[in-house]
Structure 1
Amino acid sequence: MLALEGVSKTYPGGVRALDDVSLRVEAGELAAVVGPSGSGKSTLLHIMGTLERPSSGRVRLDGHDVATLGDRALAALRARRIGFVFQQFFLLDGVTALENVAHGLLYTATPVRQRLAAARIALERVGIGRRAMHLPNQLSGGERQRVAIARALVARPAIVFADEPTGNLDSRSGAAVVELLRTLNDAGTTIVVITHDQQLAHQLPRRMTMHDGRLVGDA
């Protein structure tokens, strides 16, 4: 599903955020990328999710060599084959949960009626279909994160990247989100969780550890 080969990322001023990282994620895996702040996790997420290009090395995602894709083709790949969940929910105020999820298909040229139908199915998948017509400020933190996960899933992506998905939640809501990710993975969704939370990482089948821009462990 995902392969990085000798990937490095250097920013202006000589800051080397990633240093010769190689890894593979197979279809159907549930894996964590763990490490302290400044370890390179966020940069690795951006590279894996095609939000940034590496300075050197090769990235393959869902059969595509990212280096061969222009900006438009890369944006299309991102819209249709990659889902993102962030610590901040990034839901639009003033529109319903259903409409927020449907926005996940905004750049796929899907007609509005089909977007809304797919959004309703995605909300049902994450166990919050009954709250489809509620606004974000009418939802709990755990419910808002479920809406965000539904938005990431609505396009049926090949892989989902979850960046600190429990970071803004209390322990009970966080545990429910982790259980939801497990359930989605059991149904076939490939998921990579980026986190500094060792306790969360140890609940997942695979843990990749970053330190000073290098991959130092893969258990």
Structure 2
Amino acid sequence: MSGETVLELDAVTKVYGEQPPVPALRGVSFSVGRGELVAIVGPSGSGKSTLLHVIGTLERPSSGVVRIGGADAARLTDRELSLLRAREIGFVFQQFFLAEHATVRENVADGLLYAGVRAAERYRLADEALERVGLSDRATFKPNKISGGQRQRVAIARALVGRPAIVLADEPTGNLDSTTGASIMALIHELNAAGSTIIMITHDAGLADQLPRRIRLLDGRVVSDTGDGERP
């Protein structure tokens, strides 16, 4: 790992409502370096989903700083934030969110729609991403003609297609059987070994323990981080 920081959170809070206020994040601070593979793990209600939304710039924090690739998200306009999200963050969700009427190749290419990439280049990059996840032979298939594991690989390819600074994977094996889930975890490790920075959000401590760094959340706070003091 180069030691370059791609994500930095400093004293991030998120409070919902006013009467009474409900704190979801309480002073969360950590950074992630390029090429890291990190699990954010905690039980239901620990703040994982809120943290995912804040890291992914889908929600603004109530206070604190979120920096992605050196850009302070709080200082960006909504338009600038959308562009940052399109270029720097790839999302993989538990639900695949694939367009059933479109081919696998079109679904992956659509990951670049909002990044201002021309159509021919979108499809070229989609083919590259499908090759990375081992699905070149399924490019012309519709999602309903492939398995659940293959659909999650398509979703991962879509997240990777723009070579984002960070891939955020939210319970990526949650809808899969254990064998298929294991193959997706193996793919995540392979992609990380090839240089992708991946942050996986999960409630499953067993899955988290397979990753080299684990940030544990409880009641909106970081209670442990195996990466503290270990990164160059």
Please state which band the TM-score falls in when normalised by the shorter chain: over 0.9
What does the per-residue CA deviation read over 1:131-181, in whole Å, with 9 as the maximum and x for residues that have no partner?
011111101000000000000000110110000000000011100111101
How many Å separate the matches in 1 of 2:203 and 2:97?
A: 20
* Runs of 5+ consecutive residues of structure 1 not aligned to the other structure: none
Structure 2 partner of 1:8: 13
Q: Give 1:66 deviation, angstroms.
A: 1.0
The unaligned stretches of length 5 or more in structure 2 are 1-5, 227-232
Identity %: 62
State the TM-score, normalizing by the size of structure 1.
0.99
Aligned to 1:62: 69
What do the CA deviations read for 1:75-130 (whole angstroms, capped 9, x no partner)? 10100111000000000011110000010011122111111111111000011111
> Which residue identity is paired with 1:143?
Q
* TM-score, reference length from structure 2: 0.93
Q: In structure 2, how many angstroms separate the alpha carbons of the residues matched to 1:103 and 1:204? A: 29
Where does residue 140 of structure 1 map in the other structure?
147
1:117 pairs with 2:117 = no
Query: Match of 2:218?
Result: 211
Q: Distance in 1 between matches of 2:225 and 2:163?
A: 28
What is the letter of the counterpart of residue 159 of structure 1?
I
Distance 2:96 2:32 in 1: 25
Q: Distance in 2 between matches of 1:184 and 1:117?
A: 19
Query: What do you get for the CA RMSD once the two structures are aligned?
Result: 0.7
Partner Cα distance (1:141, 1:72) in 2: 34
Q: How many residues align?
A: 219
Separation of aligned partners in 2, 1:89 and 1:183: 20
Correspondence for 2:171: 164
